[in-house]
Amino acid sequence: MRYAHTMIRVKNLDASLAFYTEVLDMTETGRKDIGEEATLVYLGDDTEGKIVELTHNKDGREYTLGNQFGHLAFTTPDLEKLVKKIERRGLSYRRSRPELNSHYIFIKDPDGYDIEILQAKD
């Protein structure tokens, strides 16, 4: 068995695509339009196929983020370069606690999902 992807529902597909492709450098790897019901957009990184599925339901429904879901996590080869990019965009983030000797940040996507970005280990 292999992991396929994680699906998250988004309110504004364009804003979410901009966040995941421009901030997190993910690539759109596929798209499926389901008529009047929804649009599914698959995103991947430079090593995988479909990692995240953004689902935009077209009926205008509202979503409430539950407390059962934790976060999506990604690694980056250069966390400080990404932090500078995030700061230039005026986005807020939270750093790891220095005393833990960990190097990561948390940022929220346009729908409020927590995204953890860890410094990749050499």
- Tell me, what CATH number does 93's domain have? 3.10.180.10
**Residues known to be catalytic:** 116
- Three-state DSSP at 83 gives helix
In a domain, 99, yes or no: yes
pLDDT (tens digit, 0 to 9) for every residue of the chain, 122 residues total? Answer: 677 789 999 999 999 999 999 999 999 999 999 999 999 999 998 776 678 999 999 998 888 888 778 899 999 999 999 999 999 999 999 999 878 888 999 999 999 999 999 998 87
Instruction: Specify which residues 27 forms β-bridges with.
Output: 44
The encoded tokens of residue 21 equal 């492709």
In a domain, 64, yes or no: no
Q: Range of 113's domain? A: 6-59+70-119
Judged on CB neighbours under 10 Å (0-12, 13-18, 19+), 52 is buried
Long-range CB contacts (within 8 A, 24+) of 36-44: 39/13, 40/7, 41/13, 41/17, 42/5
Number of domains in the chain: 1
